[in-house]
Amino acid sequence: MPVASKINELAARKRLLVAESDLNRQALTLELCTITQKTARFERWALLGWKAYPIFQFGVRLAKTFATRKHRSDSSSRLSIISRSLQLAGVVLRALRQ
């Protein structure tokens, strides 16, 4: 009889561990859903930034071209200011990307 009681005890322990494992799986699923919801906004903004970066890069090149061709001596011109601003934006975006 001691063997039968040991088997019953082990079977009960197994059922307990299976139930605990199921609860842990449910808790993990809930936590992952929460993390996914909280990071969704950041993912949308990051994707938008990733798509907009080539446009900013093109703007920087275009502004540089206009600034160097037309206003070489006037450093306070609007195109020069735009060019410097777009260069700064490009540097910031590259730093954020790394």
pLDDT at 1: 58
Mean confidence (pLDDT) of the chain: 81
Question: To 10 degrees, what angle do helices 78-97 and 2-70 make?
Answer: 160
pTM over 0.85: no
Q: pLDDT-based confidence at 18, cuts 50/70/90?
A: very high
pLDDT, tens digit, for every residue of 72-83? 555 556 777 777
CA distances from 97 to 54, 91, 94 (A): 13, 10, 5
